[in-house]
Structure 1
């Protein structure tokens, strides 16, 4: 199953529902995109209001985080670009993500060369995409599928490990706790997380906890 699909008319994100035989708890995964039409975020926000619990991505603001997100913010600066608005919901459930202070500490432990390259590359990438990038070009980089084997999932090194794998591990811990404590409750738990993080999460829920995908529905991220 594709997590994010780029077709002839635009980009779509697959909202998937997972259940486990013998227990009523349901997980609904919303693969999030940093650059999307405002309508995408509005639709996700509307749907989140119907969930009993929301597990959302979001590192508390820190200088290192702001520097790394410059690429997205600069890409979206022109009106014709997609709009990186945060998802808003009436619910305020805890965020199962790395705190800004922790991220900053781990960031400071990375090799200096890697930090310098990241600080320079992020704004330059954003400036390039803002000037020359098209929606079709962006779409090519957004395609994601769930063809991931949890047994083959190994943490990367350096920045990739910090941004993706270490944060995935925190999310897995949070979802495992929810499953263990509330699996016998008739609740629908929303997971609003970056699309690149979704494949290992789906693989974990299926292989380790016994959940299966029973339904998936497309939401338009942006069209061309």
Structure 2
């Protein structure tokens, strides 16, 4: 399933609606890049106004390690001419729509990463500021690299360590499990209600979300929209 589409003129993200035969509840997945154009953020906010519940990503609490690993996301929007915004709840979540956050704490996230070999962990931390500088200097055109859109890591690092490897598991396994458990509770408790539940999570989590909803609860992707994340200048 294609989640992020990168072409020579734009980056688009699929908004995926998942339904289950005999159940009125719908899950609508919003794969989020960590930075995007203000227009994209506004479009997502407008769509979220029409949902009944929002399940939102966000590591809870603070730590030096998490701050270091998210440095790239904070660098890119700082140059105004780049026309980018960092994904923040204040920009995305509309008033009046209830939301829940089943994500891990900062301490749990760092504990998972520290199960990696020390050199791997240190390389991950050291690479992030470099990536942030690249994004800040190149601006939106850096996002024509699909790997950057999905993982916000250099393609060589992702190829060597991310795709199905220990770094990917350390960064996502516990978080994906928590999310799917929360979605399972919603399915059990509110499956007979005609509500639309938005899942606002990073694009890298979406394959696990789709597979989990399908394999655990029988939901299938039924429709997709393609809002534009950004148009490189």
TM-score, structure 1 as length reference: 0.85
Aligned to 1:75: 76
Aligned to 1:190: 198
Deviation for aligned residue 1:182: 1.4
Kindly indicate whether the alpha-carbon contact (under 8 Å) linking 1:156 and 1:165 is maintained by their aligned counterparts in 2. no
Q: Which moved more, 1:29-38 or 1:45-54?
A: 45-54
Kindly indicate whether the alpha-carbon contact (under 8 Å) linking 1:55 and 1:94 is maintained by their aligned counterparts in 2. yes
1:139-158 correspondence to structure 2 within 5 Å = 139-140=144-145, 141-142=147-148, 156-157=165-166
Number of residue pairs the alignment of both structures matches: 213
1:18-97 correspondence to structure 2 within 5 Å = 18-62=18-62, 63-81=64-82, 82-86=84-88, 87-90=92-95, 91-97=97-103
Deviations 1:101-141 (A, max 9, x none): 3224434554433332222111112113323x353332222
Deviation for aligned residue 1:155: 6.6
Looking at structure 2, the residues matched to 204 and 195 of structure 1 have their Cα atoms a distance apart, in angstroms, of 15
Report the CA distance shift for 1:20/1:51 in structure 2 as closer, same or farther (over 3 A): same
Kindly indicate whether the alpha-carbon contact (under 8 Å) linking 2:35 and 2:86 is maintained by their aligned counterparts in 1. yes
Looking at structure 2, the residues matched to 73 and 168 of structure 1 have their Cα atoms a distance apart, in angstroms, of 24
Query: How well do the aligned residues superpose, as a CA RMSD in angstroms?
Result: 2.1
Which structure is higher in helix share?
2
Deviation for aligned residue 1:142: 4.8
Aligned to 1:4: 4
Looking at structure 1, the residues matched to 115 and 215 of structure 2 have their Cα atoms a distance apart, in angstroms, of 33
Aligned to 2:157: none
Looking at structure 1, the residues matched to 230 and 28 of structure 2 have their Cα atoms a distance apart, in angstroms, of 21
Looking at structure 2, the residues matched to 200 and 109 of structure 1 have their Cα atoms a distance apart, in angstroms, of 21
SS in structure 1 at match of 2:36: coil
1:119-130 correspondence to structure 2 within 5 Å = 119-130=125-136
In structure 1, the gaps of 5 or more residues are: 145-153
TM-score, structure 2 as length reference: 0.82
Kindly indicate whether the alpha-carbon contact (under 8 Å) linking 2:116 and 2:170 is maintained by their aligned counterparts in 1. no
Kindly indicate whether the alpha-carbon contact (under 8 Å) linking 1:64 and 1:107 is maintained by their aligned counterparts in 2. no
Kindly indicate whether the alpha-carbon contact (under 8 Å) linking 2:11 and 2:143 is maintained by their aligned counterparts in 1. no
- The answer on 1:106 being equivalent to 2:108 is no
Kindly indicate whether the alpha-carbon contact (under 8 Å) linking 1:18 and 1:26 is maintained by their aligned counterparts in 2. yes
SS in structure 2 at match of 1:76: helix
